[in-house]
Structure 1
């Protein structure tokens, strides 16, 4: 009986030693070990990470460098010091990635671009705070003789603005929505084509607002 107890004690002691050694190794190993990679303007750039309104995943997007090819791969490194978490995602072929990271905590994100020669790599880092985007959804329009109405799906505590202009003209005209799901715009030229874009107005709910893709509105029928 005493022999069995001693063997069990030694097994537990060995297990505790292995766990302790693993934690010690992790604490002394840097999360990001690609300092040798370049940060030149010709490499990967414009890394941004954000969460979509009511979504759960962290979305990271970046732009490729000028030396990319079919063999180019990306590595995404996400560090959350408050959770003692270091996640490395390798062999990414696209320029976007969705992560299940717990975005309520602060995080640092790096992206590494590796081209045909493994020794040639570029990097970019994202250090900004938590970003939430609220892109307009289900965008529709209705054109009349002297105005047009643009509508979208209503979101709680999210307000939008619209900019529009005649097609092929330079200057935009900005209009804020008076209600949360539509904007009505009076236009003087009933035969003109118009271009419009929509984005949220930054607030505590949505703090990272980007213009939507352009909506092209043709002339309405004369009444």
Structure 2
């Protein structure tokens, strides 16, 4: 009788072993999910952090943000634009490194992660074509923000549009050094900030 029961015991042992193997596989898979980057994470750009007045070196050139200004309105070649919030205007200098390049993406990201893109008539940003290597191109980024988005805001600049996840390329993220006091002061400012076309040269 004992001889006949051994196969059953072996089958039971095998079943327990299979279950244990499946459990271990599932646990390993979950652990890898926590450790390995998701596909979206792997496709993101490489953020390079900087501050106002610093020359930030990127793969394709250098960028430098000047001191930001703020008001409830801006004046452009296309007209005057009023905001119920605040316009933040940041001067930007870009110098291409090895070949003619043009920044095509500019945005302001607030302390909570909200992103406000430039590049429209109401939120102007233009490099006016590719910059030649070694020749600085000066422009301005103007973005309309809610008042509560000013404190802790960062300027984000990239070679490629955000739709392409910046093609896993360098992305400049510049701390504008803004506070709640700046936001309140600018929200009461009615003098328009003039946003001028891009210019080229070292002057």
Regarding TM over 0.5, the answer is no
TM-score by length of 2: 0.33
